Structure 1
Amino acid sequence: MAPITPGLSATPAVADWRDFVALTKPRVLTLVVFTGLCGLLAAPVGVHPVIGFTAILCIALAAGAAGALNQWYEADLDQLMKRTQRRPLPAGRMERDSALHFGVGLGGFSVVLMGLATNWVAAAILLVSILFYVLIYTVWLKRRTPQNIVIGGAAGAFPPMIGWAAATGDVALLPFLLFSLIFLWTPPHFWALALFVKTDYANAGVPMLPVVAGERATRHQIGLYTLPMIACAVAPWPLGLTGAIYGVTALVTSALFAVLAAIVTFRSSDAAMKPEKQLFKYSILYLFVLFGALVADRWVLA
């Protein structure tokens, strides 16, 4: 169980619906839901709109549950970092047990609903994604190793695989490549962020790579992970799994990603951290555009 932080309010105010929404990490939820939807739409079978909507709802609920349980466990860390101090728990607007019960209930409901509405293969992967994020990343890795985001990044890579499985009942090469793409995208994306908020992590005692190994090593790792990430992004086209719409989009957007990553990799640090912020922001757009092109490619060719 997460340590109870003395600084957290002993008599928190009654939480309202906005605090429960904040527990789900809505900004993260957007990308999770989008990649899951694209995985479902890229599948080679048709899905009834109601079943498809239910599957995506389950992915959203599961991601929200994982976010809530993450905040429940990390309430002490969130209180020490400027960018997270206003969350419901460190701000004293909610009791920790409320976040725990909300996360467990939401997660359990999402898995059962997914199994009943689609199939139990998708439900099983959904359950694994929740447990991986909460137990492997949040509880085991984050406070112990600078490789936390590398291994833990797998949790955020499951949605397209879940969407595909919800439609087909199985997992094929294309969703596996999409999983690998997000898995390899996570380190350069997150380390770009960590470079300009490393003071927060240092103050909280979280062993993120820039804190433990320094900026130079982190920049080199961003460059190293970008190369296999691009290979996974482009691979579906030459393998015949997608058409030219996706392939050309992957080449163009990945080339720009490589340029930004190279600038971050080979530059010296400065207080502004402008290239790092540009890479972080572009990395989010990169996934949105890639997965959007995947769906466009599938439906145009169909």
Structure 2
Amino acid sequence: MARGIGVKRKLKAYVALTKPRIIELLLVTTAPTMFLAARGVPDLWLMFGVLVGGAVSAASANAFNCYFDRDIDRLMKRTEKRPLVTGEVSDREALVFAWLLGAASTVILWLVANPLTAGLSVGAILLYVVFYTLILKRRTEQNIIWGGIAGCMPVLIGWAGVTNSLSWEPLILFAVIFLWTPAHYWPLSVKYRDDYRAAGVPMLSVTEGETSVSLQTVLYAWATVVCSLLLVPVAPMGWLYTVVSVLAGGWFLWESHVLYHRTIKGENPKPMRVFHLSITYLTLLFLAVGIDPLLT
């Protein structure tokens, strides 16, 4: 247990509880959605407030996740240096921190945007903490599919922040992220399969093996790309989004098929290549979501 640590180290430990890299990816989907909802540049104060509120909301959910998963984090090499494992932050401190962040995010989004946006943020926290962390994660190999719903919520939050309503456009983007999540995360789970097995987490790479992971990655990649194209007639989107969704989607599909063929041939499948590519794909897609309205 770490005792008497300095202020700087303590602050770093609190930041680590929020999982900043995950928050970055969530903001990548929120901001472009706000541009699409505004059909141009949204009110900058509103956008700043929604992004800050959304980041604080995600930080709260991640801190709660660290608190409830602290027992299995001690068993996994990937998470053995998290603050609750090292003792840099106590269990009580982490829980209070998570509650404060959740309350702060709700107030920010209510005041800067509207009650609908604040309510969606609360829903996202509950989905990640209760539905995924407490119910699904340790019980089913489908955990990342349905638990991934929480990661889809930022597009609804961003849209509601601008329009104070929901419509088909954000629901399609919600579905894109929902279908993308298994194709993104399951290849990563192959790398940390031993960790998940040691912690008793029934990830697909543990229960079914690499062949199943690679096949499911292909299927979900196809579903993701097809769903992304639905936005073209519904929004409607212009030439930039159409081109990016086709080309980036084709790249995503190609690498997913390469992963599958390498796996069934017994070659080195390089699943982390698909994991990193999937992040690039989603980033490019949402950049096009945000820029396309400015050109149309």
Q: Could you say whether these structures have the same fold, taking a TM-score greater than 0.5 normalized by the shorter chain as the test?
A: yes
Verify: 1:49 aligned to 2:44, yes or no. yes
Structure 1 residues 105 and 273, CA gap change in structure 2 (3 angstroms): farther
SS in 1 for 2:289: helix
Instruction: Give the conservation status (yes or no) of the 8 Å contact 1:196–1:273.
Output: no
The structural deviation recorded for 1:271 is 9.7
Question: Given the alignment, which residue of 61, 65, 81 partners 1:66?
Answer: 61
Instruction: Give the equivalent residue in structure 2 for 1:232.
Output: 227
Q: Which amino acid aligns with 1:29?
A: I
Q: Deviations over 1:224-275 (max 9, x none)?
A: 2112111111111133521110011000000000011111123227999553
Instruction: Give the conservation status (yes or no) of the 8 Å contact 1:68–1:102.
Output: yes
**Any gaps of 5 or more consecutive residues in structure 1?**
1-8
Instruction: Give the conservation status (yes or no) of the 8 Å contact 1:13–1:93.
Output: no
* Distance in 2 separating the partners of 1:297 and 1:262: 29
Instruction: Give the conservation status (yes or no) of the 8 Å contact 2:262–2:269.
Output: no
Once the two structures are superposed, the pairs formed by residues 1-302 of structure 1 within 5 Å of their partners are: 9=1, 12-14=3-5, 16-44=10-38, 47-268=42-263, 273=268, 275-301=270-296
Instruction: Give the conservation status (yes or no) of the 8 Å contact 1:12–1:95.
Output: no
Q: Deviations over 1:121-161 (max 9, x none)?
A: 11111110010000000010001100000000110011111
Structure 1 residues 120 and 214, CA gap change in structure 2 (3 angstroms): same
* Distance in 2 separating the partners of 1:21 and 1:100: 14
Instruction: Give the conservation status (yes or no) of the 8 Å contact 1:32–1:156.
Output: yes
Q: Which amino acid aligns with 1:110?
A: S
TM-score (norm 2): 0.94
Instruction: Give the conservation status (yes or no) of the 8 Å contact 2:214–2:263.
Output: no
* Distance in 2 separating the partners of 1:203 and 1:13: 32
Instruction: Give the conservation status (yes or no) of the 8 Å contact 1:24–1:67.
Output: yes
Q: Which amino acid aligns with 1:87?
A: R
Instruction: Give the conservation status (yes or no) of the 8 Å contact 1:12–1:94.
Output: no
* Distance in 2 separating the partners of 1:271 and 1:102: 47
TM-score (norm 1): 0.92
How many pairs are equivalent?
Answer: 292
Q: Percent identity?
A: 35
**Any gaps of 5 or more consecutive residues in structure 2?**
none
Instruction: Give the conservation status (yes or no) of the 8 Å contact 2:255–2:274.
Output: yes
Q: Which amino acid aligns with 2:28?
A: F
* Distance in 2 separating the partners of 1:271 and 1:67: 37
The structural deviation recorded for 1:208 is 0.3
Q: Answer 1 or 2: which has greater helix percent.
A: 2
- Coordinate RMSD, CA, aligned: 1.7
